[in-house]
Every structure is written in C-alpha cells, then in structure tokens.
Amino acid sequence: MAFHLHNTLSGGKEPFEPIEPGKIRMYVCGPTVYDEAHLGHARCYITWDVLYRFLLYLGYEVRYARNITDVDDKILNRADELNEPFKELAIRFTQHFHDDMEALNTLPPTDEPRATDYIDEMITGIEVLITKGIAYKTADGSVYYRTAAKADYGKLWKQPLDELKQEARVESEAGKESPLDFALWKSTNANDPNSWPTPWGQPGRPGWHMECSAMNHRIFGDQIDIHTGGADLIFPHHENEIAQSEAWTDKAPFAKYWLHNGFVNVSGEKMSKSLGNFSTIKRVLERYDGNTLRYFLLVNHYRMPVDLNDDALVGAKNRMVKIHRSFKVACDTLGIHPDVLKEYPILTRNDTSKNPYLAEFEQHMSDDMSTPKALSVMDETIKALNQTIAQNADDLPKVRHLFVQALSIFSYLGFNSALVFADENPLPRETVDALRTIYRELTGEWLASDKDPAVILDEILTLRQRAKEIKNWEQADAIRKHMTDIGIKLIDQKDGSTQWEQV
C-alpha cells in the first residue's frame, strides 16, 4: 500500500506525494516557551516524531522544522510576573523543553527557528501584504489582515464564515474592519523595551500567526509538503497561516498536507490549568519512563482524543516492563551486551521481503500512521520471540531473526532502547526528599545529596532491623508508619528480612 495520510485540507485520506520527488519539507508549530511543557505537547511532538521517523524509513530526504515561539504576550506577562527579562525566561523554558524532548526520545528537528531571529522576514511579509491591499494599518500603527480580501478564507476550518465570526471571539481592538481580521503586527508605545522598529513608523511586536508564515518562508520558500500541529491550532492559527502565506507568495496551497493530532483528555475532561487536571511532562516522567508514556500515546490513533488516567498508564507500564524483559532475555540468549543495544543495526525498508513482521508494520503505518496496529505487530513479534526462546533457544538464527524485527519496529516507533536496561522502579523526587528527612530524624545526620535512593532506603531498613533486634517495637512501628505516609509499603518476611514496594 502506498503511503496515505489524512489531510485536514481535503477532509479525507490521500496518497502521499511530495511536491519535489524524494524530498520533504515539513513544519511543526513548536511551543510558546513560557512554562513547562505538558502532555498536550508530549502527544503532539511524539506523534510528529513518529511521522518524521517513518518518512526517513520510507527513504525520503526530510527537512523538518520545529520552531520556538520566543516572543508572545504569554511570555511577556509571565516575565512581568517573575520580574525577569522575557528573553531569559524564554531561553530557560526552551532548555526545559529540550530536556523533555530528549527524555521522550524525540529526534531533534533539522531546523529549530526562533521567532525573534525572523522579525525582519515578518516585516517583509507584512509590507508585501500592505502593498497588495490584503493588510491595513490602523490609527495606532497596528497592522491587520483583511480576511474579506481572500475568497477562500476558512477553507481549512470548513465552517460557514458566520460561525467563524463567533469562533473568533470579537475582540475590542480599535479599527478592525471585521471581527475575523487578525493582527499581523501589534503596535506598542515608543518606550516599550520589548518591541521592534518598523518601516511604517510605529514600533511593536509580531502577531503569532505571522511568526510561523515568516519562518516557513525563509527556511522553505513558497510551499511546503507537510504542516502539522495539534487540532486546537486548525482555527485560527493554521487558517491564518494559510491566508498570510498564500496572499504573500500567490502560490497555493501553502502546505500540501495539513495533519492534526487529537486532544489529550484527563479522565474524560479536556486538560486545562483551570480544571486542575493539568499535567506536565516532567511530572509524568517522575512516575513513568519515556517509553511508557510513548506506548500510552501511540496505542491510540493520532487523530483520536486520548484519555489520560492512571489505569491506562499503569497498563502501558506493565506492557512496557514485559517488552523490556523480553528484550533482556533475548540479549542474554544472543550474548548481546546491554551497552550495544542502542547501536544494534536495525532493518531498513529493503529488508521487508525477508522480514514479514516488518512488512506488516510498514503496511499499517502506511495507512495514515496506524500506530495501534503497528504496536500490535510489535507485540506479535515479541510473542513469537518469547515462544522461540522458551521452546527452541538453541535456534539462534531464528531468535536473532525475530529479535531484530522486534527491535527495528521498536526503534521506528521511537522507543528508547537505552531504557530497556534502566531501573524499572525509579522513586519520585519527593519520595527521595522525604526519605532523606526520615533518615535525618532517625540519626541526626544528613546524607550526601548524591546518595542513591535505593541505598538510603536500605539504610533506613537497617535502622528498623536494629530497632527490632533490640525489641524497640515503638521505633520499628514508627519507621513503618513514616514509610507508609510517603507511599512505601514494608512487608516483613518470615526470615526476618523486610521487602518494600511503592503503593
């Protein structure tokens, strides 16, 4: 099956053909860096990471840009709150974002433009739009896009314009001709330090939509193959990018394929800060590893909403633990050292005729990236691998044949093989801090901050063991209670030793 993708622009599934054979220009709207990245970001960038990997698997030369929006009202407001220069705030959260992306094992994009480096390109584009009569200046020096001047405005959102007008939430910006018109440039007063000069006189800041059009134009030229983002960006952000770029270059479509990933809900409700069900990537990674989060997200098709809840995450974790174990056993059987697993050669598309599981993986991924079916192929491969090892471990060629297929699918879906040999149950940071406090209360001594949490736990268990030996039941019970309070259950064994588990 040829590679097919669901295109929001046409509303249907289409065979994928890049504008220039063999080469792909792909752009993903990146984060606005004013806070920690959340699970909506995780879903978005994991989805498009999987697409990027699959395009590379198919043999395309891919230029993949994922921008950083480093100037925006949200950033300026936050910087104001924290009394910090906005550039420093943006640099700090860009670094945090990079850390998260690395923990999630996403490949770095080939280009990562920062909006503030493209202000001159934005001004160039705005001037072209003013000259063409598509944009107009208001009395205060702001510049707006005249949506009435573009006959097909609304073609991505596909709703009647009257409904769009309601969607657009009429803002009380003075001088706008229509509620649908949007700011390309927002003027500021002359002494605002966070603003840029313009040829039309009034300094100001760019509108968010214009940032993406300008970065695309400078990096890729007039047209790109794939533009992606979360479904919440279809309107107005992507609609407005199309309007700006097509009017600027007179070339349509600006992007041939528009792809959108679905929302992340938390126990049935849309995730939002105000609902208090907002979860950052860092928080989730304290309890689950990057592979677990990736498995949880990919087991749902990218266009469908996913529902985040602990049961689903625990299910994904159990599945991942089993996969990691199967890989460990296969490594033992084949005599592969854990350190080389991440450099282990994986199969390419040329190998599909000899590797039926890989061929099946390709087929499902070619059908609008059906990761749920691709994952079930991975599960079947691992099941066959386990059975072969259990029944016929001497047949090393067969074990290797299945293992390399499973590992290849695992890698093309972006799972991190370095985590296969990582600790299965890392303790959350607050638990480690609490353990250190308990140790201090018991002994009056502080432990070195780089002490391994498992060692601290062992030392506390030893203290309790000593209390039991001298029949100081009061202290032994007090330690047990402390541990229960921080989510660690102690289980006394018949031989006098004590096991623990996280609850």
Residues near Zn ion (CB under 5 A): 29, 212
Q: CB of residue 216 vs Zn ion: minimum separation in angstroms? A: 9
Nearer to Zn ion, 5 or 214 (CB): 214
Tell me how far apart the alpha carbons of residues 374 and 407 are, in angstroms, rounded to a whole number: 13
Of 189, 244, 250, give the one whose Cα is nearest residue 216: 244
Q: CB of residue 30 vs Zn ion: minimum separation in angstroms? A: 8
Nearer to Zn ion, 68 or 382 (CB): 68
User: What amino acid occupies position 353?
Assistant: S
Tell me how far apart the alpha carbons of residues 63 and 220 are, in angstroms, rounded to a whole number: 9
Q: CB of residue 70 vs Zn ion: minimum separation in angstroms? A: 13
Nearer to Zn ion, 45 or 296 (CB): 45
Q: CB of residue 221 vs Zn ion: minimum separation in angstroms? A: 17
Q: How far is CA 443 from CA 450, 482, 489, in A?
A: 18, 14, 21
Q: Is 27 helix (H, G, I), strand (E, B) or coil?
A: strand
Nearer to Zn ion, 242 or 316 (CB): 242
Q: CB of residue 229 vs Zn ion: minimum separation in angstroms? A: 6
Nearer to Zn ion, 26 or 29 (CB): 29
Peptide bond into 338 cis (omega under 30): no
User: What amino acid occupies position 297?
Assistant: L
Nearer to Zn ion, 212 or 316 (CB): 212
Q: CB of residue 220 vs Zn ion: minimum separation in angstroms? A: 13
Q: CB of residue 156 vs Zn ion: minimum separation in angstroms? A: 13
Nearer to Zn ion, 141 or 262 (CB): 262
Peptide bond into 21 cis (omega under 30): no
Contact 75, 34 (CB under 8 A): yes
Q: Cβ of 116: how many Cβ atoms within 10 Å?
A: 17
Tokens of residue 145, six digits: 């896009």
Tell me how far apart the alpha carbons of residues 126 and 25 are, in angstroms, rounded to a whole number: 23
Burial state string for 227-260 with b = 16 or more CB within 10 A and e = fewer than 16: bbbbbebbbbbbbbbbbbbbbbbeeebbbbbbbb
Q: CB of residue 206 vs Zn ion: minimum separation in angstroms? A: 12
Of 422, 454, 424, give the one whose Cα is nearest residue 338: 422
Torsional class of 4: left (φ above 0), alpha (ψ -120 to 50), beta (otherwise): beta
Tell me how far apart the alpha carbons of residues 370 and 116 are, in angstroms, rounded to a whole number: 37
Tokens of residue 258, six digits: 């528009």
Backbone φ and ψ of 446, nearest 5°: -90, 140
CA 290, 419, 483, 457 torsion-angle sign: negative
Nearer to Zn ion, 219 or 461 (CB): 219
Rg (C-alpha) for the chain, rounded Å, is: 27
Nearer to Zn ion, 256 or 436 (CB): 256
Nearer to Zn ion, 245 or 408 (CB): 245
**What spatial distance separates the first Cα and last Cα of the chain, rounded to whole Å?**
47
Nearer to Zn ion, 113 or 141 (CB): 113
Q: CB of residue 241 vs Zn ion: minimum separation in angstroms? A: 6
Peptide bond into 253 cis (omega under 30): yes
Q: CB of residue 212 vs Zn ion: minimum separation in angstroms? A: 3
Q: CB of residue 25 vs Zn ion: minimum separation in angstroms? A: 15
